[in-house]
Structure 1
Amino acid sequence: MTTTERVADRDRGRAPADGTVLLLAPSVGGAERDACTELLAHHDAASTRVIHVLYMESAIERYRLIESRLPDHPAESAVVAVGAGGVVGERGPEPPADHYHVQRLTDPADLTGLGMALNDALGEWAAAGDVTLCFDSLSILLQYADTERIFRFLHMLTNRLTELGASAHFHIDPAAHDERTVAQLAQAFDEQVRVDGDGDRIVRG
C-alpha cells in the first residue's frame, strides 16, 4: 500500500490492510471483534494464512468466529493457545486438522516459548505465501510480564513480521492501562487503530 493510499484510508476512517497495527478497542462489546474481522477480511482468502495468538478465547471459539464472519476464510489457520486460551470454551466439534493447526503453550509468561513458536510458524508459512497475525491480547499479556519486557518482545516480533512482509494486528484495551504504557507499546507498530464502543474508529500513523 502506498503512502497516498494509507492517508486516504485514514481520512475515511478505515483500518489499514498491511503493516503492523495496534488495535485499541474496548474488550467489552462487539466493536473490538468487528474491527478484528475487518482487518482479517482485507486479505486474499485463497493465499493468506492466518496465525492467531489467543490468551482467553479458545481455538474452537476462534474457529467458529472465522466460520461465521469470514466464510471465505483463509485456506489455513494456526492457533497458538496460551494459558487459559487452550481451555476456556473447549466444547463443540473439533476444527478440521488439515487446515486448522493448534499449538498450546501452558505458561502465559513464557515470552521466549511464544517467540519461538511464532518464529517457526512465520518462517514456514511466509515461504508458502502471504501470512497475517492476530494477537489477542496484549492486555492479558500485561498481567504476566512488565511493560519493558513486552516492548522488547514486540519490537523483535514486529521487525520479524516486517522482514517477512507479513501483516499483523495486536489487540489492547486502552481503558485497562495508563496512557504511558499504551504510548510505549505503540512505538513498536506502524499504525494505530482506535475503536470506540460504538464501532467508530480513528486510524493514526
Structure 2
Amino acid sequence: MSELPEELAGATNTLICAPSMSRHAGGGTHCTELLNAGETPASVLWVTYTRSPSACVEAVRRSGVEPASLSVIAVGETPMEDDESLSSVRVDTVSTPSDLTGLGITLSQTLSGREDVVVCFDSLTAVLQYVERETLYEFLHAVVGQLHAADALAHFHLDPTAHDRQTVDALTSLFDAVVHVRDGDREIRTRQLL
C-alpha cells in the first residue's frame, strides 16, 4: 500500500496534472496513493470518460485498495460489458458526455448514504472535449462543494499539455492541492501556495 504524501494529508480534493502520453499517464502511483488515502476501507467511486468499467475495476485492484464497495460512473458511449469482475460493482452510465447535469445527479445519487468515499475523476481533459471551460468550471465548483459536504476525498486528472495556461490556472483554483507530475518527478502545491 502506498504512503500518502504529507502535503496531501489535509486536502479533500486534489488535481493530478500529468501528461497523457507519458509513462506516468494519469498520475500513476499518485492516483494509487490517493485511492489509499482513507483510514478505513473506503467506498471507491470512479467517474470515467476514458476507461471501461472493467478497466476501472482492474485499476482499483492493482492499486491494492480493497474497498468496502466499488462504483463506476461511465460517461459516454460505453458498451455494457459481460464481465464477472463487475458482478459486485455498481455501474451507472451517463450516455451523453456533455450532460454535466445528468452526471451531477448520478454522482449525487451514488454518494447518497455512503461514508468514507474516495473518488477518482478521470479525466477533466476528456470533459473539455465536450464542454467549454466556463461550463466545466461551474460544474466542478458545484461538485467540489458536494464532495466536501459528503466528506469524500476526491482527486481529478488533467493533462496540462492538452490545454492553454488560462484553462489550467482556472481549474487549478478550485482544488485544495495540485500534484504536477513531470518525468517521474512530482511537485505538490497546496491551497496556501496556489
Q: TM-score, normalised by structure 2?
A: 0.87
The 3 A distance-change label for structure 1 pair 157 and 110 is same
What residue number does 2:110 align with? Answer: 121
Identity value in percent: 36
TM-superposed CA distance for 1:45, in Å, is: 5.0
The 3 A distance-change label for structure 1 pair 45 and 58 is farther
Aligned counterpart for 1:191 among listed residues 177, 184, 193: 177
The residue identity in structure 1 corresponding to 2:33 is E
Instruction: Give the 3-state SS of the residue equivalent to 2:113 in structure 1.
Output: helix
Instruction: Give the 3-state SS of the residue equivalent to 2:98 in structure 1.
Output: coil
Aligned counterpart for 1:203 among listed residues 169, 183, 188: 188
Aligned counterpart for 1:137 among listed residues 123, 148, 159: 123
Instruction: Give the 3-state SS of the residue equivalent to 1:124 in structure 2.
Output: coil
Instruction: Give the 3-state SS of the residue equivalent to 1:43 in structure 2.
Output: coil
Is the aligned partner of 1:112 residue 2:101? yes
Q: Give the structure with the higher percent helix.
A: 1
Q: TM-score, normalised by structure 1?
A: 0.83
- Give the conservation status (yes or no) of the 8 Å contact 1:50–1:77: yes
Whole-angstrom CA distance in 1 between matches of 2:9 and 2:125 = 22
Structural RMSD (CA): 2.1
Q: Where has structure 1 moved over 6 Å in runs of 4 or more? A: none
What residue number does 1:26 align with? Answer: 19
Aligned counterpart for 1:154 among listed residues 135, 140, 151: 140
Whole-angstrom CA distance in 2 between matches of 1:87 and 1:175 = 29
Gaps of at least 5 residues in structure 2 are none
Whole-angstrom CA distance in 2 between matches of 1:159 and 1:24 = 21
Is the aligned partner of 1:94 residue 2:111? no
Whole-angstrom CA distance in 2 between matches of 1:16 and 1:54 = 25
TM-superposed CA distance for 1:42, in Å, is: 2.1
The 3 A distance-change label for structure 1 pair 120 and 68 is same
What residue number does 2:60 align with? Answer: 66
Gaps of at least 5 residues in structure 1 are 1-5
Instruction: Give the 3-state SS of the residue equivalent to 2:112 in structure 1.
Output: helix
